[in-house]
């Protein structure tokens, strides 16, 4: 399961980055 932790971290980072990018995009609210 230790090998899964880093993968989840990477996913979390990607999701957070996407969420932050969406928050900065006015079109994100419409989507």
Gap between the Cα atoms of 20 and 14, Å rounded: 10
Dihedral of the alpha carbons of 4, 6, 10, 12, in degrees to the nearest 10 = 70
pTM to 2 decimal places:
0.44
Phi and psi dihedrals of 2, rounded to 5? -60, -35
For 1-31, what is each residue's pLDDT tens digit? Answer: 556 666 778 888 888 888 878 777 666 565 5
How much is the pLDDT for 5?
62
Dihedral of the alpha carbons of 22, 24, 28, 29, in degrees to the nearest 10 = 130
């Amino acid at each position: 399961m230790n090998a899964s932790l880093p993968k989840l971290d990477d996913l979390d980072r990607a999701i957070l980055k996407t969420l932050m990018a969406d928050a900065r995009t006015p079109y994100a609210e419409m989507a």
